[in-house]
Amino acid sequence: MNPGKRSHGLYRQAREVTPGGVNSPVRAFGAVGGEPFFTERADGCRLRDVDGREYIDYVLSWGPLILGHGNPQVMEAVAAALERGTHFGTPTPVEVELAEKIVALVPSVEMVRFVNSGTEATMSAIRLARAYTGRDLIVKFEGCYHGHGDSFLASAGSGIATLGIPSTPGVPEPVTRLTLTLPFNDRDAVDEAVKRHGDALAAIIVEPVVGNAGLIAPDDGFLAYLREATERCGALLIFDEVMTGFRVALGGAQARYGVAPDLTALGKVIGAGFPVGAYGGRRDVMSRIAPEGDVYQAGTLSGNPVAMAAGLAQLEILERDDPYSILEERAGRLVEGIVEAARRNDIPATGRAVGSMFGVYFVEGPVRDFQDALGVDRDLFGRYYRECLEGGVFFAPSPFEAGFISTAHGDADIDATLETVDRALARAARHE
Ligand code: KE4
């Protein structure tokens, strides 16, 4: 689908002054072809681009907007905060209120520190785990994305528990040598890693529901197994809930699956569209963070009062309304409809929803790890994606991203989406 005239012109201008014309690579539509559209405004579950085209939005700013765009109470809280100023570089009441709200709602979090992105949250959590344990190695899982911190940009080498190799230039090999990358849902691989490296292991970090490879849910007991394995070898367990936090349940994945990590990284929903990240957990671990402790971490705009007010308003609504069962039901209906439409067009498909996030793969399934996910037909996905966009439905522009729904998505929006998906799959199947 070609974007409208204004988007096309803006994209040409943007590429002159910004690498790839975007401020985050996935927005360039590289995985699906065509050019990105530029957004003028958004309301509820819909985006409107600069050429006046409307889209039902299942990206929701990559997760944060669980109440949809422009929620009146969130916007009111932001306006009221702006009346008082933008940022003061001192503590403010609202950052205490949001910290208390997170401590009250996320089971394992006793103390929390705000930062400005999910990347800062996970980077800080890893530094803290290394300081607390006095160890350097970390384990992550294939397909899990924890932001662009050097330690995480290590892709798996061959074999099971392998020494990481840089997955991008600029990351020194000695850094990624400290990151072991394992297949998700693979207990034997975890066992092997703990057996070989357990006494040097600072932490296992995991997306408890993988949302950066499409959507891959943990096998029954896998998260509890990680909990037991880390306790066995003295490493910390870190849940990267930047995406799952307040999205798969009010208390996040740790509440849904009943597993308490030592540290949790948060972001997205807690900022309601403003740049906010956070990390938190056990008091005895968090108290090692400066200035209470000796582990340094800082940030000019951390705890920004306007962002805090937005996040607090959003969490207060989620706590009051607890919309998770209706969100999961709607997301489930959407996934079922897409899978059925694919099969009607002889396209293999599998998918699922967990809370208000969902994933669909055009493969037979089940998809239990990243290798399974890599089996998708990317050309087919690209054709399907562009047809959906033409039909006014905006999914994440990659087969390896989760989708999101909000309380602003009604049944009529889901129905309209499924009609577009049906046409898109029929045309994609026929290579039209
Ligand atoms: P940020 O630094 O982008 O705020 O957060 C990094 C991050 C950490 N952990 C998880 C589980 C995440 O999903 C993310 C960021 N998610 C991507 C979407 N897959 C953000 C989109 C983008 O990179 O533009």
Rg (the chain; Cα; Å): 21
Which of 304, 321, 338 marks a domain boundary? 321
Mean pLDDT of the 182-202 span: 97
Q: For 278-332, what is each residue's pLDDT tens digit?
A: 999 999 999 999 999 999 999 999 999 999 999 999 999 999 999 999 999 999 9
pLDDT of 431 reads 84
Task: Check pLDDT > 50 for residue 237.
Answer: yes
197/315 same-domain check: yes
Domain boundary, last residue among 321, 339, 374:
321
What is the number of domains present in the chain?
Answer: 2
- Contact 149 CB / ligand 1 (< 6 Å): no
- Given 11, 55, 145, 279, the catalytic residue: 145
Residue 142 sits in the same domain as residue 209: yes
Together in a domain, 265 and 337: no
pLDDT at 163: 53
Question: Using a 6 Å cutoff on CB, does residue 207 contact ligand 1?
Answer: yes
* pTM metric for this prediction: 0.97
- Residue 240 is a catalytic residue: yes
Q: Is 36 near ligand 1, meaning CB less than 6 Å away?
A: no
User: In terms of domains, do 55 and 179 share one?
Assistant: no
Are 335 and 287 in the same domain? no
Domain boundary among the residues 321, 336, 361 is at 321
The residue among 246, 317, 274 whose CA lies nearest residue 78 is 274
Distance between Cα 102 and ligand 1 center (Å): 20
Cβ(212) to ligand 1 under 6 A?
Answer: yes
**Does one domain contain both 91 and 15?**
no
The confidence score (pLDDT) of residue 160 equals 41
Render pLDDT for 42-79 as a digit per residue (tens, 0 to 9): 999 999 999 999 999 999 999 999 999 999 999 999 99
| CATH classification of the domain holding 361 | 3.90.1150.10
What local confidence, expressed as pLDDT, does residue 1 receive? 67
CA 273 to ligand 1 centroid distance, Å: 13
The SS3 of residue 358 is strand
Active site residue 346: no
> Per-residue pLDDT averaged across 183-187, rounded?
97
Residues 126, 254: one domain?
Answer: yes
Residues for the chain: how many in total? 432
- Please determine, for residue 168, whether its predicted confidence score (pLDDT) is greater than 90: no
Give the pLDDT mean for 113-131. 98
Same domain, 100 and 195: yes
Q: Which CATH number fits the domain that encloses residue 302?
A: 3.40.640.10
Which residue, 99, 35, 43, 98, is CA-closest to 70?
Answer: 43
* 268 flagged as catalytic: yes
Q: Is the CB of 264 under 6 A from ligand 1?
A: no
Contacts of 100 (CB under 8 A, 6+ apart): none
Q: Are residues 261 and 139 in the same domain?
A: yes
293, 330: one domain:
no
Range of the domain at 388: 5-69+323-429
**Statement to judge: residues 92 and 63 lie in one domain:** no
Q: Whose CA is nearest to atom 17 of ligand 1?
A: 62
Residue closest by Cα to atom 20 of ligand 1? 62
Q: Is the CB of 401 under 6 A from ligand 1?
A: yes
Q: What is the secondary structure of 24-92 as a DSSP string?
A: SGGGG-TTT-S----EEEEEBTEEEETTS-EEEESSGGGTT-TT-BT-HHHHHHHHHHHHT-S--SS--
Choose the residue to mutate in 116, 242, 246 for probing ligand 1, maximizing ligand atoms within 8 Å of C-beta. Answer: 242
Residues 35 and 94 in one domain: no
Provide the pLDDT confidence category of residue 156 given band limits of 50, 70 and 90.
low
Per-residue pLDDT of 361-411, as tens digits, reads 999 999 999 999 999 999 999 999 999 999 999 999 999 999 999 999 999
